[in-house]
Chain A
Amino acid sequence: MKVLVPIKRVIDYNVKVRVKADNSNVDLANVKMAINPFCEIAVEEAVRLKEAGTATEIIAVSIGDKSCQEQLRTALALGADRAIQIETDQNLDSLHVAKLLQKVVEEEQPQLVILGKQSIDSDNNQTGQMLAALTGLPQGTFASVVKVDGDKVNVTREVDGGLQTVALNMPAIVTTDLRLNEPRYASLPNIMKAKRKPLDVKAASDFGIDLTPRSTLIKVTPPSERQAGIKVESVDELVEKLKNEAKVIS
């Protein structure tokens, strides 16, 4: 069984992003970049499926400029077998990403596609679901358990009320939540080996998809900052302030 894992290069999760002075966007110059944490969980899940003998091949794919090859190499070091970069300088809408991935799914015919539930830059939470719709496949989003069972996959999902388990006919699309697994670190020998694994580069413009933007980013502004308040010395003082100053308890 083939598993396709689309991944995204994003700002490192420890970095607090700044808005550019001209409010045109955020400033990513010289900012540490990394594989989106949810995508890393997706790679790990695919690798575990391979270690369990369920998956036979793992293909990582990323859409972006040349720099995303770095994250593809990370995925290869973690255990993906080969990688595809779909080259573009454009900042694509999730819909475009999903359309490009649809072509990859048609070509590679994976039984499972595992994606992160959201990228921590645009916070959209869309691509997996859109890919599922375009390919007509069922989806198990926000997964905390993935169990392949014959031609079905059972996915336990993190939902507002707790957990929900659904059974999906394969091929299927899964998006990861935080509790699905704890990704491993790539070992040095595996990082070396990853350098020799195949990485195909294809131009986004060769896919025959209209990539005209569907939205215009008008401006990006910093959020209104909260002012730090005061430190109270005792629980009595805290209760007094909450009652008489903030008036949020009675």
Chain B
Amino acid sequence: MSILVFAEHDNNELKADTLKTVAAAQAIGGDINILVAGANCSAVAEQAAKVNGVSKVLVADNAAYEHQLAENISLLVTELAGDYEHIIATALTTGKNFMPRVAALLDVAQISDIIGVESADTFVRPIYAGNAIATVQSLDSKKVITVRATAFDAVATDGNAEIVALDTVTDAGTSSHVSDELTESERPDLGAASVVISGGRGMQNGDNFKLLEGIADKLGAAIGASRAAVDAGFVPNDMQVGQTGKIVAPDLYIAVGISGAIQHLAGMKDSKIIVAINKDEEAPIFQVADYGIVADLFDVLPELEAKL
């Protein structure tokens, strides 16, 4: 059996989540190849070649793939699909964007966001914002799967796979990239950080997120937010944690001025330790918190920063 894993990257760096997606591929079992599709992405290919348990790295290096447009990437992956029983990507915005296209072009269903592998055709995935866990058996000959990275442990990177350049170029010609507006941050990625501190509507405005920064600096934490904080314009969309935002599972998650709606919990309740800071002792966030402190966040945050 052969498995194709799509590499998440920004043309320079292989994203750590790909190492977790490869772990899911290993759980399925088979010969694992990684696809690096991008432009001027040879550095990524070299990093991918070091991923453990991978036999081959296929590199499609072409301007058509620079921005990972779904129309172009899906054609490429569909062309390669003949050689594989499983095609796997991380359930991040790139994979979520193009993978269903691949499934439809191959006339198979997609199994989204798996958190467990029971066998080569049976997978476990959360539904209803994680309030139920489904075990699903695929009846299709090819499996198109996206993986929730937080559910798998990264594989090591002391491998030595062969790098193979592909010369296929698949440009659908129906879409083009206009611009990016990326959030610049020196902090770790939300998905990769071992500590996350998130602010909600209780933060009152974007300026007050500075109160989280000092603490984040001391803990090497990433900063996240609830939907309410994003909708109110306090912080950018890429900070939203939850059912329809980012999924995180750090060692320590600190929820500040967040009530704990099911949609927010869906994105963070697999964290190892949860701390809640909220002035309402009835807030549902306390039902999942290991340590809660019922107090005004504007008193707690400066004191916490000072005492860390």
Instruction: Spell out A's residues near B (CB within 8 Å).
Output: 11, 13, 16-19, 26, 38, 93-95, 98, 117-118, 120-134, 136-139, 141-142, 144, 154, 157-169, 177-179, 213-223, 226, 228-232, 234-236, 238-239, 241-242, 246, 248-249
Contacts and interface: CB of A to CB of B under 8 A. Distances in A.
Interface of B: 10, 67, 69-71, 74, 92-94, 96-105, 107-113, 122, 126-140, 172, 174-183, 191, 195, 219, 227, 230-231, 236-238, 243-244, 246, 251-252, 262-263, 269, 272-275, 281, 286-294, 300, 303-304, 307-308
A163 B181 CA distance: 5
A216 B231 contact: no
B130 A133 contact: no
Nearest to A159: B93
A222 B133 contact: yes
A214 B136 CA distance: 10
- 9 A-B pairs with the lowest CB-CB distances in the bound complex, closest first: A129-B100, A229-B290, A214-B109, A133-B104, A130-B104, A133-B101, A138-B175, A138-B174, A126-B100
B64 to A, nearest CB: 14
A17 to B, nearest CB: 4
Interface majority SS (helix, strand, loop, mixed), chain B: mixed
A23 to B, nearest CB: 9
A35 to B, nearest CB: 16
A248 B251 contact: yes
A159 B92 CA distance: 8
B238 A158 contact: yes
Contacts of B130: 223
B134 A220 contact: yes
A130 B238 contact: no
Interface of A is mostly: mixed
Contacts of A228: 286-289
Given A11-B128, A178-B244, A238-B275, A216 B104 contact: no
Contacts of B74: 133
Given A158-B93, A235-B303, 4 more contacts: A160-B246, A162-B180, A214-B109, A238-B304
A219 B237 CA distance: 34
A162 B238 contact: yes
Contact of B103 (A130, A168, A235): A130
Contacts of B100: 94, 125-130, 133
B131 A223 contact: yes
Nearest to B184: A162
A129 B70 contact: yes
Given A142-B93, A214-B140, A238-B291, A163 B104 contact: no
A136 B173 CA distance: 11
30 contacts: A26-B132, A120-B263, A123-B113, A123-B126, A124-B112, A125-B112, A126-B103, A129-B98, A133-B102, A138-B172, A141-B70, A141-B96, A141-B97, A142-B96, A158-B93, A158-B238, A159-B238, A162-B237, A169-B175, A214-B108, A215-B136, A216-B137, A218-B137, A220-B127, A220-B134, A231-B291, A235-B293, A235-B307, A239-B307, A246-B291
A232 B129 contact: no
